[in-house]
Structure 1
Amino acid sequence: MKYNIKLQNANELPCRLLLIKTLAHDLTSPIRTIYGYTCLLEDSNCSFKENELKEIYKIINELAKNAINQAEMLAKFNFDIELFIQNHIEFSFPTLIRNLLSEYTTRLDEKYLQVKSQINLSEGTIKANKYSLSIIIRNLIDNAVKFSPCHSEIVLSVEEEDQKIKFSLFNLFDKQSLLHLDRKSTKNIQIEGNGGLGLGLCYCKQIASITNIVLQFESIYGNGFLASVLFSNKP
């Protein structure tokens, strides 16, 4: 089962960066996140703007420093991250990163293989299966917090055979924001949450073929929230 995920105002920088970060980030592993960015940089279907590249390299820089501190196998390479990034054009940045990672990464998780090369930045569209969809939505909501000051509303539409789920996130830094569900248009949808500051408004329409959707929120960073989306076809 494939889904087309579309991000509104996809050509605006905050939304494009949100899309990029959503595909690349793995909250459990800086190494796999670097690998995720590398896949995007090497993807011929992706065209990045100069300020996007700067942001990507900045992120990779921090991730690499963290990885060096965390992984003994990476530390043994003893390379200068700052110099490496400054010379990424001359030294073919993605290729070097890939070669570096191949020393201790035997394979890329299936979830990346399912998502990479299926992004269209100009249209803000991602193609993913149901498993990837839960990861993407989780990361979209997590990353949306960081873009809230410059883009207060982020709308995500997920389409599958003319059915839609729509998530709208409003005013993520507003203490008065509440989690909202339009119960008239949905059935068998459970939403659980705590978050206080940063728990935004979420509007959800179910996909007809999925009879049970659970959104679980937990606080992170003190001013945002992380959502995991669990799907079940059981009635």
Structure 2
Amino acid sequence: MQLHTFLWPARIIEGFLFGALVLGVELICFSFLASSVNLSEAAKRQSLRAEQQLSLAYEQQQQLEELRDQFLMNVSHELRTPLTEVKGYINLLLEYGNKIDEETQSSFLQSASYGCDELELIIGNVLDMSRIGKDLKPLRMQELLLAVTLHEICEHVYLQDHTLHLDIPADLTVMADRQQLRQVLRNLISNACKYSPAHTSVVVSAGAWEDDMVRLCVQDAGAGIVAADVPQLFQKFSRLKRDIASSVRGTGLGLYISKQFVEGMGGRIWVVSEGVPGKGSCFCFTLRQGAATRVDGV
């Protein structure tokens, strides 16, 4: 019996091998094409993402430039107004000083002094903004009597026909950097006066809070802040649309700097407001209690 009677004929075997070879080549080509398509799609997606990122970066840069321009315009206006007032009172005294009674002279000098204090606050905010995040000025934490600190501040805050009420325990102390705490309180009290109707009250209160903290609050009687506007309050250069369209001056730095300072001293800051005119807003922040307060059990 011949061998080919038990095995496939040679021609069939050759055809099978050739078919298998062709199929293998086709599979390799298909795999290569599929891989090429996938790579092409991935490249397109990556290119699209890069374009979107560039577009977003460009928009952010444009927004930043607009904010910067608005900030420079605001600062220019903020500085010019109190400077004009100071110069005006000084010129009046120089020209008519000998014809004005002492009480009026004293009033003019007090107004000029308040104008200088306002200039100092604005310039301080601008300088502080440039230093934030650069560790150019280390904190000098110390135990401070809040009542004493607030009375010192009141001498340098222009209340603009508002009444300031202090509800501060005489022996309540906090751990804070004196200069930064003064800047935070001056910003909050100044804002409360600017955004409240004349002849209303601004109330500053403080008391023991949870976890050995002290909570300080500045309450005004202004228009309030709606919930949708709260997230942007503490951002750099940020001002609410209603305020930009109003006669109220501002640089958009006070709350931003206050937040940075409070958090740097180990506290947090927030606002409570119903957004209802007349009910106003209450800006609160926390600082760690001083040792004397904890010992006395306040």
Q: TM-score, normalised by structure 1?
A: 0.32
User: Between Structure 1 and Structure 2, which shows a larger proportion of helix residues?
Assistant: 2
Q: TM-score, normalised by structure 2?
A: 0.26
User: Between Structure 1 and Structure 2, which shows a larger proportion of strand residues?
Assistant: 1
Greater relative contact order structure (CA < 8 Å, 6+ sep): 1
